[in-house]
Structure 1
């Protein structure tokens, strides 16, 4: 038995040697060696298999036809609400409060009385000023009459002086007479000057009396402290009987309709914000308000290098209060972007975020930039205007791998609402 096993092993080894190393000689000695060898048929099948190899190596994927659409982008800011106007109404004169106080939270109209001071002797001061004016006015006719009389005497003195001078030249008048007429002329001039001064003093008295009367009326007007604009009282008005001095606080009033929202734009985004741009703000309470940009600072804050912007928001029910924190979104110009399913995003070997696309017969990788996340999908930029994005199978291919793509009809971008205006950009 052992000899048979050894012989069988030797025969098997010789057969393998002949089949591997002496294959051509073995075929020639076998029966049917003169028949045509099936070499050509074998080669033809090999070539056919070689041609079909790329098709079998291609990966089947699902893609969508995506086109870029202009979407509005928004500048996101942190800010707060501010009253349109806030004023501390203070007294301009001294006096005791004689009016009942208004309580904080009350709404006051423009010109409504908030604090009234005791008049004291101010009415008497006004009456005295008026009396002085009347007295000064009565002196005007008397002063004018005196001036006319002095001017007449001056004319007479001039005539007498001229006549005496001519007679003295002819020897018919003495030097004494000439000196007398000249003295009378000088006295006449002095009288005229005095009359003019008296008349000017009377007129000055009238002006002084008018100024005193105006000051008295102004002082009386300061007794009534009124609201400079319609708004809410943030504090009680001064209590009845309290003594007010110039500069003492009567009340604080704020105007909340419309209300301002203030934010600060970094210098990298300041050129994206325009005057009049629509904006939306969400308060910490969840309230959403909309408005437009009404102010943009031209000077940056020296500490933060940010620019102040303001937006005006209607607030007829006064629901929005002063000092509430808000997240502000200001619409800016549109940007081309693609709306894709979130599952289409992938990473390349270097960790770059992007998508796999169909580029002819092979796959390719394109990096993208995230724009906005919505319920319909994610908006990305950085792709061509028209591109075929792989949405199923992107994790099994890399750039250059052959793919066979089938296209989905329910493209995420087909039924998507594309915000094309600045107002829709902040929705």
Structure 2
């Protein structure tokens, strides 16, 4: 038993000596107790770096080209004006000279009511007017001879004026039985039928003026300054048609709900082919500006959060140039801000900073890169 204990103690002693001898591993910690680390030094933009220390980047030479900017607004077509023709009197509908969809001229009768007793009322009013006229003439003769007072003469004059007013009201009541079109247009709706009884204020028909036609859109706060009354524009309809017109209205006040501004493009429609309510896209062309066409992948941000590009100047130093995107397409974006000729970094712009010297390699020009 004692021999077993002695053997175990001997083995434990040998293991302890082996661990203390440093043979457990070959890699010893560096002096001071800290493991060794490897660092890569990136040259600062302020260091006087030589050609061998310059960061390699790839560049491409761009030349600005004239680009006509186009502002796009989505909207729909809308009739120039629409009015509900309402009755000014009551009665039965006697005639409907035109059917729904008919085109009428201004002044033509659209709905006609039964005159009923209105003709008799007019005859009665005219008879009373003749009587009042005779009474007034007699009163004037007596007044000239001094047999009538001024009060009696004034009363006769008042009775005559009242009779005239009664005739005018009776004539108006008869004229109200004919509801006419205030302008040329198309009868869009006829909500009444012959024989219907309608009261004062009842809608007899809806009239639409479709020449010219409007294309109405709503412009954001950022874009509204690009549009002005009198500007020429085009509208591309969802039907495939493209029409041209002139901006006739740009709202001065924004909608409280959407914070957008109403825009109206007036389109001639003398052949009446355009319809109300068709989805459209308004395009207004501005004067051409000099701009660069680049891939959006070349855009980057500076420390201030400005969007721009990084270029290499004549002494092969990186410079950040803020840009403004004026148009974007599926193939790239049009920007303003850089000079007419710019050497833009296309590969490596994410790894360099403003003022850093670089070693460049130039990409060959391709279609669309420069003009």
Which whole-Å CA distance do the structure 1 matches of 2:152 and 2:367 have between them?
Answer: 104
Q: Distance in 2 between matches of 1:268 and 1:375?
A: 22
The structure-2 alpha-carbon separation of the partners of 1:352 and 1:224, relative to structure 1 and needing over 3 Å to count, comes to closer
C-alpha contact (below 8 Å) 1:356/1:363 kept by paired residues: no
Partner residue, 2:338: 383
Rounded Cα–Cα distance in structure 1 between residues aligned with 2:136 and 2:57: 114
Contact 1:104/1:233, CA 8 A, preserved across alignment: yes
Partner-residue secondary structure (3-state), 1:103: coil
Work out whether residues 73 and 333 of structure 1, in 8 Å CA contact, stay in contact via their aligned partners in 2.
no
- 2: CA distance between counterparts of 1:145 and 1:90? 48
Larger % of helix: which? 1
CA distance in 1, matches of 2:282, 2:159: 64
Q: Is the CA contact 1:103–1:237 (under 8 Å) kept in the aligned structure 2?
A: no
| Root mean square deviation of aligned Cα | 3.7
Normalised by the size of structure 1, how large is the TM-score? 0.63
After TM superposition, list the pairs within 5 Å mapping 1:160-239 onto structure 2. 192-193=148-149, 196-236=150-190, 238-239=192-193
Segment of structure 1 superposing worse, 303-312 or 88-97? 303-312
Corresponding residue for residue 329 of structure 1: 283
How much does 1:355 deviate? Answer: 5.2
How far does residue 216 in structure 1 lie from its aligned partner after superposition? 1.3
CA–CA distance in 2 between the matches of 1:147 and 1:370?
90
**Unaligned regions of 5+ residues in structure 2, if any?**
1-49
| Separation (CA, whole Å) in 2 of partners of 1:386 and 1:98 | 79
Paired position in structure 2 for 1:400: 357
Match of 1:66 among 63, 67, 76: 63
d(CA) in 1 for partners of 2:300, 2:133: 98
Q: Which has the higher strand share?
A: 2
> How many pairs align?
317
CA–CA distance in 2 between the matches of 1:268 and 1:348? Answer: 21
Q: Runs of 5+ in structure 1 lacking a partner?
A: 1-52, 152-190, 415-427
Counterpart CA distance in 2 for 1:201 and 1:349 is 92
Q: Which moved more, 1:100-109 or 1:118-127?
A: 100-109
On the 8 A contact 2:59/2:343 being kept in 1, the answer is no
Residue 252 of structure 2 aligns to a residue whose secondary structure is coil
Do 1:345 and 1:353's aligned partners in 2 also have CA atoms closer than 8 Å?
A: no
Matches within 5 A, 1:21-420: 54=51, 63-67=60-64, 69=66, 71-74=68-71, 76-100=72-96, 102-149=98-145, 151=146, 192-193=148-149, 196-236=150-190, 238-332=192-286, 335-340=289-294, 342=295, 345=298, 357-360=311-314, 362=316, 364=318, 366=320, 368-373=323-328, 378-389=333-344, 400-403=357-360, 405=362, 408=365, 412-414=369-371
- What TM-score do you get using the length of structure 2 for normalisation? 0.71
| Cα 1:352/1:394, change in 2 over 3 Å | farther
